[in-house]
Structure formats: C-alpha cells, structure tokens
Amino acid sequence: MRHLLVLLLSGGCALLGMSALPASGAESPQPLQQPQSSQPQLRWPHGARVAVSLAYDDALDSQLDVALPALQRHGLKASFYLQLSHPSVERRLGAWRRAARQGHELGNHSLFHQCAGSTPGHDWVTPQRDLDHTSAAQMRDQVLTANAMLYAIDGERERTYTVPCGETRASGEDYLALIAPAFLGMKVGGELAVTARAALQPGAVPVLAPVGLNGAQLIALVRSAAADGDLVNLTFHGVGGDYLSISAQAHEELLAYLASHRDQYWTTTFRNIMRHVQAQNQRPGTP
C-alpha cells in the first residue's frame, strides 16, 4: 500500500449546487410535516421517519480532528470517503482504522480523485488525473484497487462509493456501470439533499455539499428535506478548516439537533442505509 500512497493529490471536490436557505435567527422549528406521497415509504429502524447520511469527502485532517470527535460525543455514525492517494491516509492510517472500529464507514472516493479538466473552475485538475483523458476501464481498475486498499485498512468487504466532483464520464463514457457490482450504493452529484422513496436508486443517489452555512441553515436544510422525502444526504469537506468548509460550530449545532431528535431521524452510515434499503426491497410484496 505504501508504494501506491506515494502518489499524492490534495485537490477537492467541486461544490455541488444548493437552494437558498433561511438565515440564522429564524423561528423555532415546528414539528415535521408528513411527506406527501402516494408511494409506499421505507420503514426506517426504531420508528424513525427519515434516514440521514452525513458524509465527509477527501480524507481531510479537519475531519479527524474536528468532525470525528463531535460525532463521537453525540453518538452518531457517519461515512468518510477516502481519496486513497491523499497524504493523510498514510500519515494518519491509525486514526482512520480507529474511526472504522468505532462504527464509522470508510467509503471509496477513488484512488486519484479524477475530475474533468474541461469543467469550468477545474483549473486545479492536473493532466495525469484528468477524467477527460482517463478511460472508463482505467477508472474501473483504479476504483477497484481503492476497494482493495480500504479492505486492508478496515477489513470490510461491503463498500459504497462517492463519485469525485459528481462526474461519471471518463473520456466520454459513463464508468459507473463498470463498477456498480462492487458497491451497495453510489452517490452522484446533484442539487438535492433528499431522495424520495419512489425515486431511490442505490446506484445513483443524489447528494448535496453545503459550504459556509451556519447551524440554523444546516438544520433548516435537513428539516425541509425531511418534509419531502425519505433519505437526506449531506456531504461535507472541511469542518473548521481545510477547504469547502463549514465552521466547527455549525457542524456541532447540526449534530446536536440530530442527536436530540433520534425518534425522527435515523442518522447512520450510508452503508447501513443501503443495507437496510436492500433488505426492505427484498420483502415479499415490495413494489
């Protein structure tokens, strides 16, 4: 693994779009409204009405130093999507292993975090890691190699994937079909934090990456999403540092809200959610 990890990349994911949110100081939250849908809903564990996936991309130091201790304090489990060539994976390997032992998920965020250099704002993409000039077969090989490396870290076989930058086409070919059999679920780009039961496709689950929001705005985002669907998907990068960040206080306020409303929100790893969805879909009579 050491020979692979000497190839380093510190780039971040492109920011995904998001809708306008209320500023801080808004009125106190009201009880959640029941989703308006004629479709059967997933039954979440413990009677929760909504499943919440909190994820952290790119294997950043602030995730280990700020986000993980906060999650532990509140008794919440989350998913950390490691870019396996990032320096912190090798430098802080013991800390990532401890996170897995504590019940958090180590997810696959690819080996080299390939994104398309042709996308506006992607001037940070280097030629050797440009998705526009990487074949779908090369992406398949690299993503599956990342799975093998993750297995060496946490001993887990079941895995989920977050697409770097939300971009799925390598040299013009969609590579997700080549890697789909290796994953319980895959997160792709989009402008939605919520996926309704009727629209849930484990191989293409939309995710929102909030940046710079305060605690009240993050809570409002979770609540508004929960009013419309079954699964809330938020992906963070830096927490109190690094890039594409939210503040440590905003993160703390969101976790405190989720922890104090466990009867409504099942906050767990994306892997656990996808396992549950798979089991629910296999029930007799499920459409």
What tens digit of pLDDT does each residue of 206-242 get? 999 999 999 999 999 888 876 666 899 999 999 999 9
pTM, full prediction: 0.85
Query: What domains appear along the chain, each with residue ranges and CATH number?
Result: 41-281 (3.20.20.370)
Residue 4 has pLDDT above 80, yes or no: no
Confidence band for 1, pLDDT divided at 50, 70 and 90:
very low
72-111 per-position pLDDT tens digit: 999 999 999 999 999 999 999 999 999 999 999 999 999 9
**What mean pLDDT value characterizes the chain?**
86
Residue in this structure with the two tokens 């679920």, named with its chain if needed: 185
pLDDT score for 42? 67
Q: What is the model's pLDDT at position 164?
A: 97
